Structure 1
Amino acid sequence: MFVGTVIGSVWATQKEVGMENLKLMIIQPIDWKENESGQTVVAADRIGAGIGEKVIVSRGNPARNLFLNKQIPVDAVIVGIVDSFEVHDVSK
């Protein structure tokens, strides 16, 4: 899993079977200082995240498992909208 910011959405009039009602969002991963960290990812959104929100994204098999027994070609899913987070610097 990683934390990222929703920076856009993807509109696709033709999608693979099983993806018809999935909203697709573009996520910019961020680090604990909220700096960009890595390549953008397209993630399925079933919880209603909006542009500018910080989200938790699950990838790979754990993401696909959210669709129960359906074979959906999804690699990333938004699993939470972040209200806030706190990081303590343990190096001091």
Structure 2
Amino acid sequence: MVIGKVISRVVSTRKYDTLQGYKLLIIEPCYGNKEEYIVAADEIGAGEGELVLVSTGSSVQYGLSKHAPIDAIVVGIVDQEPTINGK
């Protein structure tokens, strides 16, 4: 899982049929390589500027309400930014 900040939405006029109904968000990871962004599906209502918990990989299919070609999904909205090693 990854903790990241929602920096934008993906707006698409055409997309794969089973992606209909999923909001797609661009996530900037808070830790590690910040140059790589993640596009994640969201069904819980995360908004721009919020910290979110993102699950990635094949296990994402268990969190979807319908089968879709998605490999990252927002599974939580973080209420307080975690501290690591007192920072």
Alignment TM-score, normalising by the size of structure 2: 0.86
Which consecutive unaligned segments of at least 5 residues does structure 2 have?
none
Distance between the aligned counterparts of 1:19 and 1:42, measured in 2?
13
Match of residue 29 from structure 2:
29
Which consecutive unaligned segments of at least 5 residues does structure 1 have?
none
Alignment TM-score, normalising by the size of structure 1: 0.82
Match of residue 18 from structure 1:
18
Size of the aligned set, in residue pairs, is: 86
Match of residue 8 from structure 1:
8
Is the 8 Å Cα contact of residues 49 and 81 (structure 1) preserved in structure 2? Answer: yes
Structure index of larger Rg:
1
Is the 8 Å Cα contact of residues 41 and 73 (structure 2) preserved in structure 1? Answer: yes
RMSD: 2.0
- Counterpart check, 1:41 vs 2:38: yes
Is the 8 Å Cα contact of residues 51 and 81 (structure 2) preserved in structure 1? Answer: no
Match of residue 75 from structure 2:
79
**Residue 57 and residue 88 in structure 1: after superposition, are their counterparts in 2 closer, same or farther (change >3 A)?**
closer
Is the 8 Å Cα contact of residues 55 and 79 (structure 1) preserved in structure 2? Answer: yes
CA drift of 1:65 comes to 1.6
Please point out which of 47, 50, 55 is paired with 2:52: 55
Q: Percent same amino acid among aligned pairs?
A: 41
